[in-house]
């Protein structure tokens, strides 16, 4: 069990499942950080958690 991606196919396109989702994957990487400039332009925008 090495935590590798296993591509699966569905009607909506390609999805990825992980054999071991705790291997080398941090919770903060579920969402990317919002660029600082976007937050400056929109005061209602809040940075994604852990970034």
Domain boundaries, the chain: 5-41
For 2-45, the pLDDT digits (tens) are: 666 665 555 556 666 666 655 666 777 788 899 999 999 998 99
pTM for the structure as a whole: 0.46
Contacts of 24 (CB under 8 A, 6+ apart): 3
pLDDT at 38 (0 to 100): 94
- Report the pLDDT value the prediction gives residue 22, as an integer from 0 to 100: 58
- For the four alpha carbons of 44, 48, 50 and 51, in that order, the dihedral sign comes to negative
Predicted local confidence at residue 39, as pLDDT: 93
Name residues whose C-beta falls within 8 Å of residue 38's C-beta, 6 or more positions apart in sequence. 45
Answer for the pair 29, 18: CB distance below 8 angstroms, yes or no.
Answer: no
Q: What is the pLDDT of residue 31?
A: 85
Query: Is the pLDDT at 1 greater than 60, yes or no?
Result: no
């Amino acid at each position: 069990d090495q935590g590798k991606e296993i591509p699966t196919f569905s009607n909506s396109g390609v999805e990825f499942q992980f054999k071991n989702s705790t291997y080398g994957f941090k919770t903060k990487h579920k969402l990317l950080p919002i660029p600082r400039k976007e937050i400056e332009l929109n005061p209602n925008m809040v940075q994604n958690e852990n970034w």
